[in-house]
């Protein structure tokens, strides 16, 4: 079966509107590429983990729409343009067509994801692979919509901390759990009770699925449900792999969730942000750099026994 893509070049401010209109007109999928890709004018876009870049298109963007079988390109483009506002609606849109090679897309996608070795004895293994070392701590985890497959340095740092400080018999809170990977590691390292919290309901659904697949009993919540279910619960270990800005705002709450004498681990922090994040936590507990990887750091600290910090 052969497929065809429509390719249209537009300025940055028109890419999103045209993409939406093409989907409404019947395109099977739409993507945006850098029209200057492969040249000196190529423009990289970066975002922090789990967040989209502030700029989601390029100064010269290439909007690429996959056509349904037997669709007429001119008709689809005309219908899309009619749904747009000026200047797109009145512009003279030109497009080109390019063929899409027929491939086994499932096999091609799966081939891009291999088992990941983390720390001393942890393997993250997609479901279509066998574990390289079945005696290791093995997490069966497929790439999905929720952030967290162990490939990012911030996730690795937290996993390595948990491995080095195994929470056997302890309670653990994974705040900003994403796919649930840190909660899974904690549970497989012997934690007696694990809870995961995320603002994204889709992440919660993915985390629950991953926990069932890995045979781990873990409770997952969105923040409001967590506050109702655990209004005063404090945990022996709290892990939060988010971003520096929300971590600073969450300092009173996260510290209030740590039991006296308990440990707090923070990641999602660039090396240059370490001091400012540690300063936000200083009124509650001392934090220091535990490890650094590829420009990212993990902070850790212990809440002093007898601390009067309360869940916020």
Q: Can you give the residue ranges of every domain in the chain?
A: 3-102, 150-302
Tell whether the model's pLDDT for residue 237 goes beyond 90.
yes
Instruction: Choose the weakest-confidence range: 72-76, 110-114, 201-205, 209-213.
Output: 110-114
pTM beyond 0.85: the answer is: no
**Phi, psi (5° rounding) for residue 216?**
-115, 130
Q: Which parts of the chain are beta strand (E)?
A: 3-11, 29-34, 60-66, 96-100, 116-118, 122-125, 137-140, 171-175, 193-197, 219-221, 235-241, 258-270, 288-293, 296-302
Tell whether the model's pLDDT for residue 21 goes beyond 70.
yes
- Per-residue DSSP letters for 150-185? S-SHHHHHHHHHHHHT--TT-EEEEET-TTSHHHHH
CA 144 to chain centre: 9
The CATH number that domain 3-102 falls under is 3.30.70.120
Tell whether the model's pLDDT for residue 109 goes beyond 60.
no
Rounded to whole angstroms, how far apart are CA atoms 234 and 231? Answer: 9
**Mean of all residue pLDDT scores within the chain:** 87
* Secondary structure letter of residue 163 according to DSSP: H
What is residue 148's predicted lDDT score, i.e. its pLDDT? Answer: 60
- The residue among 131 and 228 whose pLDDT is bigger is 228
Instruction: Give the SS3 label for residue 278.
Output: helix
Is 150-302 the same fold as 3-102? no
What is residue 184's predicted lDDT score, i.e. its pLDDT? Answer: 97
Rounded to whole angstroms, how far apart are CA atoms 90 and 142? Answer: 44
Fold (CATH) for 150-302 = Rossmann fold (3.40.50)
Contacts of 183 (CB under 8 A, 6+ apart): 172, 174, 177, 194, 195, 196, 207, 211, 216, 218, 220
**Phi, psi (5° rounding) for residue 230?**
-135, 65
- The residue among 12 and 139 whose pLDDT is bigger is 139
Tell whether the model's pLDDT for residue 55 goes beyond 70.
no
- In order of 55, 96, 180, 185, 297, the CA distances from 155 in angstroms are 24, 41, 11, 11, 10
Contact yes or no for 83/30 (Cβ under 8 A): no
* Secondary structure letter of residue 93 according to DSSP: -
Q: Angle 311-152-294 (CA atoms, 0-180°, nearest 5)?
A: 105
- Per-residue DSSP letters for 235-260? EEEEEEES-HHHHHHTHHHHHHTEEE
Name the percent of the chain lying above pLDDT 70: 86
What is residue 226's predicted lDDT score, i.e. its pLDDT? Answer: 97
Mean local confidence (pLDDT), 104-118:
67
What is residue 93's predicted lDDT score, i.e. its pLDDT? Answer: 86
Give 146-197 pLDDT, tens digit per residue: 456 667 899 999 999 999 999 999 999 999 999 899 999 999 999 999 999 9
Instruction: Give the SS3 label for residue 117.
Output: strand
Rounded to whole angstroms, how far apart are CA atoms 172 and 191? Answer: 7
């Amino acid at each position: 079966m052969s497929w065809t893509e429509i390719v249209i070049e537009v300025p940055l401010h028109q890419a999103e509107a045209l993409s939406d209109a093409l989907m409404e007109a019947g395109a099977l999928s739409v993507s945006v590429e850098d029209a200057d890709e492969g040249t000196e004018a190529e423009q990289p876009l970066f975002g922090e983990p789990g967040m989209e870049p502030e700029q989601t298109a390029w100064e010269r963007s290439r909007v690429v729409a996959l056509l349904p079988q037997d669709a007429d390109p001119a008709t689809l483009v005309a219908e899309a343009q009619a749904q747009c506002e000026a200047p797109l609606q009145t512009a003279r849109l030109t497009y080109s067509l390019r063929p899409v090679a027929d491939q086994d897309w499932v096999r091609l996608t799966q081939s891009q994801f291999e088992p990941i070795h983390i720390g001393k004895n942890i393997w993250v293994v997609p479901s279509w692979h066998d574990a390289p070392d079945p005696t290791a701590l093995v997490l069966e985890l497929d790439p999905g919509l929720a952030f967290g497959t162990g490939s990012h340095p911030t996730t690795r740092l937290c996993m390595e901390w948990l491995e080095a400080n195994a929470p056997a018999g302890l309670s653990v809170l994974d705040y900003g759990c994403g796919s649930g990977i840190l909660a899974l590691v904690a549970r497989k390292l012997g934690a007696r009770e694990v809870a995961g919290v995320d603002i994204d309901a889709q992440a919660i659904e993915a985390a629950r699925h991953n926990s069932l697949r890995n045979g781990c009993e873990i409770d997952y919540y969105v923040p409001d449900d967590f506050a109702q279910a655990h209004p005063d619960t404090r945990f022996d270990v709290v892990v939060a792999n988010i971003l520096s800005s929300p971590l600073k705002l969450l300092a009173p709450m996260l510290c209030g969730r740590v039991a006296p004498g308990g440990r707090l681990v923070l990641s999602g922090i660039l090396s240059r942000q370490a001091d400012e994040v540690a300063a936000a936590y200083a009124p509650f507990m001392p934090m220091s750099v535990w490890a650094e990887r590829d420009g990212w750091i993990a902070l850790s600290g212990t809440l002093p026994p007898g601390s009067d910090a309360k869940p916020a």
